[in-house]
Amino acid sequence: MNSIHLKHTIYSSFLGLTIFLTSTGTVYALDADDPFYPKQTYLKQIHMNEAWNVTQSNSGMIIAVVDTGVDLAHPDLKPNLVPGVNLIHPKQQPTDDNGHGTNVAGVIGAVGNNDRGVAGMLWNGRIMPIKALEADGSGGEQKLGEGIRYAVDHGAKIVVLSLGLNKYSAYMNDIVRYAEERDVLLVAATGNEGNRVKYPAAYPTVLAVGGVNANGSVNELSNTGPEVDVVAPWDVFTTAIGGSYEAKDGTSMAAPQVAAAAALLWGRNPEMKAYQIRQKIRQTAEDLTGKGWNPGTGYGLLRVDRLLNEPYLADMYEPNNRKDQAKVISVSKKVTASFSDGSDNDWYATDASYDGTVNVTLELDSSLSVNVQHTDASGVLTTKTVQGGQTVPFKVTKGRSYFQLQLSDRNRKVDTPYGLTTSFDIYRDPYEDNDRQFKAFVLPSRSVKVKGTFHQYNDVDWYEFPVQQTGSMRIHVTTDTARIDPVLLVQKQGEKSVTIDEGDDGATESYNLPEVFPGTYYIRVTNVKDYTNPIVGEYTLAIEYDAKLIDPNEPNNRSYQATAISMDTPYNGLIDKSDDVDWFQFKVDEESFVRVGLSDIPSGVSMYMHLYDGSMNSMATSMNNGSSDSQELSGRFKPGTYYLKLTANRPFDNRMYQLLVNAKPLIGGYTDIRGHWAQNAILNLTGKQVINGYDNYTFQPNRPITRAEATAVISRAFRLSKQKAISYSDLPETHWAYDHVARATQAGIIEGYPDRTFAPDQPVTRMEMTAMLARSMNMTGKRRGALPFTDVDEEYWGTGLLKQMKAEGLIGGYADGSFRPEQQATRAEFVQMLMGILK
C-alpha cells in the first residue's frame, strides 16, 4: 500500500491545546474524590454521576486506543493499561511522544476515586495502547489498518479511533468489515474542520461521534454529515504526558466518551452484540433538536445514565406505521429494526443533499423478501421487492424521500428483526461523458459556471472553451466538501498544459490568464491522484471571460426588427448602449404554459422584460434587482405571436445575458397528462370540477394521493354537503381540506386514527382507496365467492369489499393476478377508479 502524501495525512490532534499545570487543591467529592474532578464538567453533561450509581468499571474487556501511544508511566493510567504494540518502531514500547493518545486514554480510563488527578469514565478498565501515528500526530492508512487488525486479533472488543482522513479507502473498508465480522465495535471521531465527516468515522458500521459545546450546540468546527451517529462534549480535562493533566477539545475527545460508555454497557450485558451496543447508544441519546436524527447531532447527545438504565428496544423507530410517523435515518449508515409481524409497516425518511441514488440493503433471512415503496422529493413513486441480503437502488431527487417497508409475506406471525443499510451515490453530472480530451464538453464562449461531480471511479472531467475574441480569462474551481481536493489543468490547443494544485483538501484552485487569444482552450478538473473513488459532493468550475463582445442579434432595436426565437433555444445578447433596446418575438402554436427566462444578468445591472401580445398590447412586465442575475415571466398563453422588449438601467458589454423561452402544451390545463393512460378520466373529472391540479399547471398523475386529497375528491364527486364537528390534533379548521373531511366523516366514508390524528398527508393505499370509494356507494362487501386476487386471503380485512367491487367490474388487478393492496395509490389510479364508479 502506498503511503499517503503529507497533505492527505491523518492528523490525530485536531486542535491546539490549553495546558493547566498540576497543582494541589481542595478535593471535590461527588461520586469521585479525584482532585481535578471539578474541572471535568463534561461528565455532568452526559450524566456520568447517575451512571456511576449503576457501574463504574469493566475489567473484563479490552479497549484499544489506536493513536500516538500512551504515557505508560502515568500514575493515573498505569493500573488500567495492558500490553500493546508500537507499529511505528516495533522494537519499542507504545510510549506516547505526542500527547494525544494519553489524552484519549485518560477520558476512557484514568483511575477513578483514587484521590489523584482526574476520573476516567471507567474507574477500572483494560486499555490497550497501539501506537500507529508519528510524534507529530500524522500517519498512513497502512499503519492505521494494522493497528485496528492488531487490536481485533489480540482480544479488543472496542477500538477508539480519534483520527481522520478525507479519503475513502477500499483497504480500510475491508479492515472495518473485518472488525464488524468479529463483533468488535469501532468508535471514531468525525473530525474538526467544520466540513464533512472523516474516515474511518464515515464507514457505515463505525460509530461516528461529533462534538457539542457545554450548551448543547454543535461546535462550529465539528464535522457534520449523514454519517454522524451521536455527539458528546467537545471540551474535556484529562491526562497528559509526563504524568500531568490538561484541558483538551475536539471530536478526538468526544469519541472516547462514547467508547467508554459502550464498555460500561457491555460489561453489564456481555451477551449483546456490537450492532446492538451501537443501536442502543443511538436509542438512548438525548435528542437535542426534537426532530430525530439529523446530520449535525446525529441521534443526539450521549446519555450514559439512560444507556445503563433503559431497556434495549429491538426496534427503536416505532411507532412508524404511517408516513406522518416516518423516522428520519441517514442515507449512509447501518441501523437495525424489526417487523412485529407481516402486517407491520415501517416508514423511514431520508434527506438527500443532492440528486442521486439511495442503495438499500436489507439483512434478514434470504428466504424472506420485503416490499419497499419509495416516494422521492418530487412525488415520484417506485415499488420494488427486496430479497434478504440484496441491495436495490432507488433514484432520489434532492430533498426528503420516504421509504415504506413491509414483509412480502403478510401472513407471517413472528417478530422478524432486520438490518437496514443505506448508502448514497451522487448523480452523474449533465456534462458526461467527458472523461477524455476528445470528448470535452463544449462550453459557451462567455463567462459561465458549471457544477460537476465525480460520480464514478477515476472520474475525469474535460471542458472545451472556445475563445472567439482576444480578452482575459480567470478560472476557479471550488468544492463543497473536503473529500474533493481539486486539481485544475489548463491547455490551449497546440500548446503546453499547466497544472494547478496548490491548495489542500477542499481548497479553491485558481488560474489567471491576463491575455487570451482566439482559439480553443481545454480545461480539465480532477480529484487529486490518491482520491479515485466516487465522491458525494459537487465542484463548481467558474470561468470569467472578459472580451469586447458583439451582440449577434442586432439590429433588433424596433419591434419590426424583433429577432424570431425558437422554443428551448438559448439566445445571448447585450445592452451595450444607454439607448439600446432588444426586441424578440416567439410563436405559441397551441394553448401552453410558457416560461420566459432571462439569466446571466451582470452583477449590479437591473434588466426589464416587457411582454406584448400580437397586437402590441402590454401583458406583463418583470424586473430583477441588482443582486439577482435572473428573472422569469410565466403563465398560460393562448395560440399566437408574442413580443418581448428588453432594456437595462445601464449598458454592459463584457457579459452576455441569456434568454430562453419554453412552452409546454396544456391539455385540460395540465402540462403532464398528454398520452397518460388516465388522461380521459383526468380531463372528465377536471371538467366537472371534481379534481384539480397544482399551481404550476401540473396534475402529477403518478404522485401518491394523500388522505386529504382523496377525501376532498370524494366530497366533490358525491356532492357531500352535511358535515359533523370533528377534532383532530393535526387537522386545524384552517386546513384546506377540513370541510371535506368533516363531510366525509358525516357520510361514514372516512375516519381518523385512535390517537386522535387524521394524518392528512399520509398516502392512501390501494385497499384504502377501494374502501373509501366502496363506502361512498354504501357497499359493505360480501363474504361468498372466490378470492378475487392472488395476494389476499379470507382473513384480510378488505377481502369482502374487493370481492364486491371486482364482481361489479369496478376494480381490476395486475397482469400477475395480484391487487397489491398495501401499495400506495396514485392520483391517476384514484381518478380512474372514481371515473368508473361515476359512469
- Statement: residue 732 has pLDDT above 70: yes
The DSSP secondary-structure symbol of 755 reads T
Set 12, 13, 67, 423: catalytic member: 67
Length of the chain: 839
The DSSP secondary-structure symbol of 545 reads E
**Mean per-residue pLDDT for 791-810?**
91
- Statement: residue 28 has pLDDT above 80: no
Q: What is the DSSP string of 146-180?
A: HHHHHHHHTTEEEEEE---BS---HHHHHHHHHHH
Q: Grid coordinates 498512513 are at which residue?
A: 140
**Measured distance CA(293)–CA(229) in Å, rounded:** 8
Set 100, 374, 610, 740: catalytic member: 100
- Of all helices (H) and strands (E), which one includes residue 441? strand 441-442
**Which structural domains are found in the chain, ordered by start?**
6-309 (3.40.50.200), 323-426 (2.60.120.380), 437-547 (2.60.120.380), 559-665 (2.60.120.380), 679-838 (no CATH)
> Confidence band (pLDDT; 50, 70, 90) for 6?
very low
**Measured distance CA(796)–CA(821) in Å, rounded:** 10
**Cβ contact 66:139 at 8 Å:** no
3-state secondary structure 22-56: CCCCCCCCCCCCCCCHHHCCHHHHCCHHHHHCCCC
**Cβ contact 272:61 at 8 Å:** no
Is residue 315 annotated as a catalytic residue, yes or no?
A: no
State the angle between helix axes of 766-776 and 707-717 in degrees (0 to 180), rounded to the nearest 10: 20
Per-residue cell: 429? 453530472
**Mean per-residue pLDDT for 64-72?**
97
- Statement: residue 29 has pLDDT above 50: no
- Range name among 235-249, 305-319, 373-387 with the lowest pLDDT average: 373-387
pLDDT of residue 14: 38
How many of the other CB atoms lie within 10 Å of CB of 470? 11
More confident residue, 625 or 630: 630
**Measured distance CA(205)–CA(200) in Å, rounded:** 10
Count of alpha carbons within 13 Å of 810, Cβ hemisphere only? 23
* Residue among 120, 121, 173 nearest 144 (CA): 173
- Statement: residue 722 has pLDDT above 50: yes
**Cβ contact 740:678 at 8 Å:** no
pLDDT of residue 622: 94
**Cβ contact 269:258 at 8 Å:** no
**Measured distance CA(543)–CA(477) in Å, rounded:** 9
- Statement: residue 12 has pLDDT above 90: no
Count of alpha carbons within 13 Å of 84, Cβ hemisphere only? 37
Residue 728, strand partner residues: 731
pLDDT of residue 523: 98
Integer angstrom CA distances of residue 478 from 8, 272, 373, 482, 712 = 18, 46, 37, 10, 48
**Cβ contact 171:457 at 8 Å:** no
Is residue 606 annotated as a catalytic residue, yes or no?
A: no
Position 737, amino acid:
A
Per-residue cell: 582? 432588444
pLDDT of residue 543: 96
Q: Are strands 592-599 and 631-637 parallel, antiparallel or unpaired?
A: antiparallel
- Range name among 709-713, 779-783, 822-826 with the lowest pLDDT average: 779-783
For 608-619, write each residue's pLDDT tens digit.
999 999 999 999
> Confidence band (pLDDT; 50, 70, 90) for 31?
low
Please state the pTM of the whole predicted model.
0.80
Helices (H) and strands (E) in the chain, counts: 14, 38
3-state secondary structure 382-433: EEEEEECCCEEEEEECCEEEEEEEEECCCCCCCCEEEEEEEEEEECCCCCCC
* Residue among 51, 147, 42, 162 nearest 100 (CA): 162
Q: Positive or negative, the Cα torsion across 669, 670, 674, 678?
A: negative
**Mean per-residue pLDDT for 173-195?**
97
User: For residue 150, what are the contacts with CB-CB under 8 A and spacing of at least 6?
Assistant: 64, 85, 87, 130
pLDDT of residue 32: 84
- Statement: residue 23 has pLDDT above 60: no
* Residue among 824, 815, 763 nearest 789 (CA): 815
**Mean per-residue pLDDT for 36-64?**
95
Question: Which strand ranges, in their side-by-side order, compose the sheet holding 640-648?
Answer: 563-564, 582-588, 640-648, 607-612, 618-623
**Cβ contact 383:319 at 8 Å:** no
Per-residue cell: 231? 455527539
Q: Are strands 486-492 and 519-527 parallel, antiparallel or unpaired?
A: antiparallel
More confident residue, 646 or 19: 646
Is residue 162 annotated as a catalytic residue, yes or no?
A: no
pLDDT of residue 369: 94
Set 12, 252, 401, 592: catalytic member: 252
**Mean per-residue pLDDT for 555-560?**
95
**Mean per-residue pLDDT for 681-698?**
93
**Measured distance CA(57)–CA(719) in Å, rounded:** 70
pLDDT of residue 728: 94
The SS3 call for residue 501 is coil
- Statement: residue 21 has pLDDT above 60: no
Position 604, amino acid:
G
The SS3 call for residue 349 is strand
- Statement: residue 79 has pLDDT above 60: yes
> Confidence band (pLDDT; 50, 70, 90) for 18?
very low
For 691-701, write each residue's pLDDT tens digit.
999 988 999 99
Q: Positive or negative, the Cα torsion across 264, 267, 268, 273?
A: positive
* Residue among 248, 255, 238, 242 nearest 16 (CA): 248
* Residue among 628, 587, 582 nearest 605 (CA): 628
pLDDT of residue 20: 30
